[in-house]
Amino acid sequence: MTRIIISRTDSIGDVVLTLPLAGLLKKLYPSSEIFFLGSNYTRAIVETSQHITGFISWDSLKELSEPGAISFLEKLNLDTIIHAFPNRKIAKIAFKAKIPLRIGTSHRWFHWIYCNKLPNFSRKNSNLHEAQLNLKLAEPLGAASDYPLTEIIDLYGLNNITSLPEIWKDQIDTDRINVILHPKSKGSAREWGLERFGELIKILPEEKFKIFVSGTAQEGELLKDWIQQFPSVHNLTGKLSLSEFIAFIASSDALVAASTGPVHIAAALGKRAIGIYPPMRPIHPGRWKPLGKNALFLALDKNCEDCKKTQNCECMRMIQANQVKKLLNI
Give the residue with greater pLDDT, 152 vs 316: 152
Which residues are CB-contacts of 26 (< 8 A; sequence separation ≥ 6)?
32, 34, 51, 157
Q: Which residues pair with 80 in a beta bridge?
A: 4, 101
Please state the rounded mean pLDDT for residues 271-292: 91
- Residue 18, C-beta contacts closer than 8 angstroms, at least 6 positions apart: 6, 8, 84, 85, 131, 134
Tell me the pLDDT band of 54, cut-offs 50, 70 and 90: very high
Give bridge partners of residue 181 from the DSSP assignment: 213, 256
Confidence of residue 167 (pLDDT cuts 50, 70, 90): very high
Instruction: Give the whole-angstrom CA distance, residue 219 versus residue 225.
Output: 11
Q: 16: closest CA among 48, 55, 40?
A: 48
pLDDT value at position 284? Answer: 84
Amino acid (one-letter) located at 261: G
pLDDT of residue 187: 72
Is residue 289 within 8 Å of 129, Cβ to Cβ?
yes
> Which of 315 and 108 is assigned the larger pLDDT?
108
The pLDDT, as a whole number, for residue 282 is 78
Compute the average pLDDT of residues 239-254: 98
User: pTM here?
Assistant: 0.96
**Domains of the chain listed by start with CATH number:** 3-152 (3.40.50.2000), 167-328 (3.40.50.2000)
List Cβ neighbours of 148 (8 Å cut-off, separation of 6 or more).
Answer: none
Kindly report which listed range (85-94, 179-188, 285-294, 305-314) carries the lowest average pLDDT score: 305-314
* 217-227 and 194-203 helices, crossing angle to 10°: 60
